[in-house]
Chain A
Amino acid sequence: MLFRRIILNALFVGLLAGLLLTAAQTIGVTPIIFAAEVYETADEAPVADHDHQAMTDHDHESSVDSHEHGINENHEHGLDDSLELGLVENHEHGTSENHNHQQAATEGHSHEHDSEAWAPEDGAERTLYTLVSNILASIGFSALLLSLMAQAQAMGITNINISRGAAWGIAGFIVCFAAPGIGLPPEIPGIEAAPLEYRQEWWLLAVVASATGLAVLAFSPIKYKALGLLAIAVPYVIGAPQHQGPEFGHPDANAVAALSSLHHDFIIASSVANLIFWVAMGILSAWVLKRWVLNSSSQALASGA
């Protein structure tokens, strides 16, 4: 079954490409992220005991929340009295640290502080989660690539081989990295940017538009190729959401200079890592497509099954 073969081969390609991405990233990219995070932490809380400070503030906020919540519910809904009393009492006396902590944990997702949610410990644990995330992302991208390649091949609009695979990989780099990156350059921690939802929507628009445009340029009759260029241009005509004001909110001018330099290095390093990743993805995907994905499906097609 074609679906099953695409998924199994995406797991295989994703594992290899994810390991390669992690290697490229560890050499060039993550050191810059770590260097930028030093300024991010310094920006948020200049005191040494940053975590403790943040936790205390949050506990206070959430117990105020629970207090208000308890009062409202008491009046309007009349839910379980003992629970309400517990919350209110806890606020009044402020003695039970355990309870505050639980409250923070249960409300963690609704708060905007990322630092309150679970995060891997820096060091081996963080690297492990990055490796797993890289492999998962690679599996996803590989499934996208293989399904498009298999469909194009089944429709007879291309005949995949290794060098065309490399071209598909470069197209993947343009679609998923360069095209959105022109409007929204790769970000380092601590950078100021437009609201996340707008940037995510524009990212998706840039990816879909450039993928459509490249497909039209590559496979359509010549008279339609101008439409491909038009599709690629659309996101930039609309314009990427931009942050108004300075790029870095850090108060220290030296830190801003250092962050700007890190950002410049980051754009180059992440471009190189992504190009290596995508070309490898394209070549590997073409190879497994020829060898495993299409092999038995062409037999199945021939036998009419």
Chain B
Amino acid sequence: MSIQSVSSQQSVSRSASFTLLQTISAFVFGAVIVYAVGFLPMGAAHNAAHDTRHSLAFPCH
């Protein structure tokens, strides 16, 4: 009984850290895209996303 509950606790904690790993990965994915649209200093990226940057109040120019 106690062995079972320990192993189920381990499985819950393993699954919790796996969840954390996945939400962090998705967060990084989102942050990279927002950086590319809002902050990438390359001229062509700035010009393509220009009106988006102004509308979302990213610092621009």
Contacts and interface: CB of A to CB of B under 8 A. Distances in A.
A274 B52 CA distance: 11
B34 to A, nearest CB: 4
Interface SS of B by simple majority: helix
Contact of B59 (A29, A118, A177, A199): A199
Nearest to A194: B59
A170 interface: no
Contact of A109 (B22, B31, B43): B43
B26 to A, nearest CB: 4
A129 B48 contact: yes
Contacts of B29: 7, 10, 140, 143
Interface in B3-56: 8, 11-12, 15-16, 19-20, 22-27, 29-34, 36-39, 41-44, 46-56
A30 B51 contact: yes
A6 B34 contact: no
A7 B56 CA distance: 22
A146 B47 CA distance: 29
A29 B26 contact: no
B8 to A, nearest CB: 7
Contacts of B27: 143-144, 147-148
A2 B23 contact: yes
Contacts of A176: 56
B57 A7 contact: no
Contacts of A141: 30, 34
Contact of B25 (A3, A108, A270): A3
Contacts of B38: 137
A150 B56 CA distance: 25
A177 B57 contact: yes
Nearest to A2: B22
Interface in A4-63: 6-7, 10, 21, 25, 29-30, 33
Of B24, B26, B32, chain A has the most CB atoms within 10 Å of the CB of B26
Given A144-B31, A187-B60, A196-B61, A117 B23 contact: no
A118 B23 contact: no
A297 B19 contact: yes
A108 B43 contact: yes
A7 B33 CA distance: 12
Given A117-B42, A187-B60, A297-B19, A126 B26 contact: no
Given A116-B43, A176-B56, A188-B54, A3 B26 contact: yes
A251 interface: no
Contact of B34 (A117, A130, A134, A137): A137
A114 B29 CA distance: 28
Contacts of B43: 108-109, 114, 116-118
A116 B36 CA distance: 20
A147 B30 contact: yes
A25 B42 contact: no
A215 B28 CA distance: 19
Give the 3 A-B CB pairs with smallest separation, nearest first.
A117-B43, A143-B30, A140-B33
